[in-house]
């Protein structure tokens, strides 16, 4: 059978590919340190597990409304009011099967063939593929390392054409961990308003910020920006709930209604039990979220210092998420490797440390390390990377 044209150009997720290879080596008995994972290593907090168990015992195991149960939508609107000072009604919220499916559905309802979406590069791997699946065209704008991997208003303006529908803002970012300030967001937002471009604001790492800066949603800045923004968020990273698959989108009523219609014909609803678990997450204490954040901060401080001490590795310190995105160009060149991909492959083969090459994120001089693993493992990984770089000094 001939597969449909639309899937032929799909690039499999590089993150998942490296994680699979590391797992296979582990299964063969190798002592592999996986720094590829895009998920927190903590268990889901027990009060959330209890809520899920209760939901099962109470028979909450049936279809729910396509866009999510009203109680969960209420808790999301309360969260947005509490954390961002933003007011939404339940008709402006859709609960989805992870933030990923919120984005997927959003692009499906937003894009016609040839519509362009501006994607700052480096980018999270699924954005371009999801845009293409909706027959849209990703337009990459290079977020320069020298500008902390952030795009400028001029760059944004230059990338806008009559076909531009939206721009993606992912702050804090996967893979760079960088975060836009309120002033930077306002300047980008002004360009969007001027050209009537929608903003897809992916705020999934909102709770994982390690500086004194507050997270700002671009929708907070003005009523006009509120009306031009669809916020994407969820419990996966904040509450260590990646496997539960609960995310949400918040935005203009018409967009959310179209997304709910699509969900009714695709997922029917996000898993009922997981919705009750997410309800507990959004209504419960944030003590555990803070504990996880503190552990991440300690790891960031240690791993960042260890990395920048290695000759040939340069790395700006990120503000949030749980990734470091160092530039390894010099180490690759002085080691005589053809490119970063072959450097990463050799590192896995020789030292059994799994990183993700930056090429998959649109940044071929960098690698992504996730510090969602124990401090002990991170220290060991840093030792091995150092030894690898030293062994390959030409």
Ligand X SMILES: Cc1ncc(COP(=O)(O)O)c(C=O)c1O
Under rule CB under 6 A, residue 217 binds ligand X: no
Least distance to ligand X from the beta carbon of 122, Å? 11
Closer CB to ligand X, 292 or 332, in the complex: 292
d(CA 59, CA 61): 5
Of the candidates 72, 121, 81, 127, which has an alpha carbon nearest to the alpha carbon of residue 104? 127
Nearer to ligand X, 279 or 382 (CB): 279
Q: Is 271 in the site for ligand X (CB under 6 A)?
A: no
* 34 or 38: CB nearest ligand X: 38
| DSSP secondary structure code for residue 366 in this structure | B
State the number of CA atoms in the 13 A half-sphere of 355 facing the CB.
Answer: 30
Interface with ligand X includes 148 (CB under 6 A)?
Answer: no
Quickly list H helices, the chain: 5-8, 14-27, 46-57, 70-79, 98-110, 126-133, 153-159, 182-194, 223-227, 253-266, 272-283, 287-308, 329-334, 340-351, 375-391
Instruction: Report the b/e string of 239-266 with b at 16+ CB within 10 A.
Output: bbbbebbbbbbbbbeebbebbbebbeee
248 binding ligand X? (CB under 6 A): no
The residues with which 242 forms a beta bridge, in sequence order, are none
Q: Is 270 in the site for ligand X (CB under 6 A)?
A: no
Question: What is the nearest approach in angstroms of ligand X to the Cβ of residue 338?
Answer: 28
Q: Looking at beta carbons, which residue is closest to ligand X?
A: 98
Asked if 326 interacts with ligand X (CB under 6 A), we say no
Per-residue x/- track, 41-80, ligand X (CB under 6 A) = ----------------------------------------
Given 44, 77, 130, 174, the residue binding ligand X (CB under 6 A): 174
The β-bridge relationship of strands 353-354 and 323-324 is: unpaired
For the bound state, the minimum distance from the C-beta of residue 310 to ligand X, rounded and expressed in Å, comes to 26
* Binding status of residue 201 toward ligand X by CB under 6 A: no
Residue 236 CB, shortest distance to ligand X, in Å, is: 3
**Interaction with ligand X in 82-111: which residues (CB under 6 A)?**
98-100
HSE at residue 319, side-chain half, CA atoms within 13 A, is 20
How far is it, in rounded angstroms, from Cα 278 to Cα 125?
A: 25
Which of 124, 248, 325, 337 forms a contact with ligand X (CB under 6 A)? 124
Binding site for ligand X (CB under 6 A): 38, 98-100, 124, 170, 174, 202, 204, 234, 236, 242, 247
């Amino acid at each position: 059978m001939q597969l449909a044209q639309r899937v032929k150009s799909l690039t499999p997720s590089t993150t998942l590919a490296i994680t699979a290879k590391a797992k296979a080596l582990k299964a063969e008995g190798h002592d592999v340190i996986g720094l590829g994972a895009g998920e927190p290593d903590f268990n889901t907090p027990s009060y959330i597990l209890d809520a899920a168990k209760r939901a099962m015992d109470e028979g909450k195991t049936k279809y729910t409304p396509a866009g999510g149960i009203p109680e969960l939508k209420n808790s999301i609107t309360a969260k947005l009011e509490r954390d961002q000072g933003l007011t939404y009604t339940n008709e402006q919220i859709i609960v989805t099967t992870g933030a990923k499916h919120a984005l997927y559905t959003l692009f499906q309802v937003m894009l016609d063939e040839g519509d362009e979406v501006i994607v700052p590069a480096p980018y999270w791997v699924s954005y371009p593929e999801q845009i293409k699946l909706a027959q849209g065209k990703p337009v990459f704008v290079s977020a320069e390392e020298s500008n902390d991997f952030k795009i400028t208003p001029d760059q944004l303006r230059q990338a806008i054409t009559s076909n531009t529908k939206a721009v993606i803002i992912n702050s804090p970012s996967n893979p760079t961990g960088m975060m836009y300030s309120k002033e930077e967001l306002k300047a980008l937002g002004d360009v969007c308003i001027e050209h009537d471009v929608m903003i897809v604001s992916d705020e999934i790492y909102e709770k994982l910020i390690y500086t004194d800066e507050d997270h700002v949603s671009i929708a907070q800045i003005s009523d006009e920006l509120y009306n031009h923004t669809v916020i994407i968020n969820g419990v996966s990273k904040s509450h260590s709930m990646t496997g539960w698959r609960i995310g949400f989108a918040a935005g203009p009523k018409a967009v959310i209604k179209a997304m709910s219609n699509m969900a009714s014909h695709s997922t029917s609803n996000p898993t009922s039990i997981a919705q009750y678990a997410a309800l507990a997450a959004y209504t419960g204490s944030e003590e555990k979220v803070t504990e996880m954040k503190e552990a991440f901060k300690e790891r960031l401080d240690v791993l960042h210092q260890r990395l920048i001490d290695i000759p040939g590795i340069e790395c700006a310190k990120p503000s949030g998420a749980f990734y470091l995105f160092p530039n390894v160009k010099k180490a690759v060149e002085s080691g005589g490797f053809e490119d970063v991909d072959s450097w990463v492959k050799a590192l896995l083969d020789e030292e059994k440390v799994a990183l993700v090459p930056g090429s998959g994120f649109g940044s071929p001089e960098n690698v992504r390390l996730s510090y969602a693993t124990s401090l002990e493992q991170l220290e060991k990984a840093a030792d091995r990377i150092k030894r690898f770089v030293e062994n390959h000094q030409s």
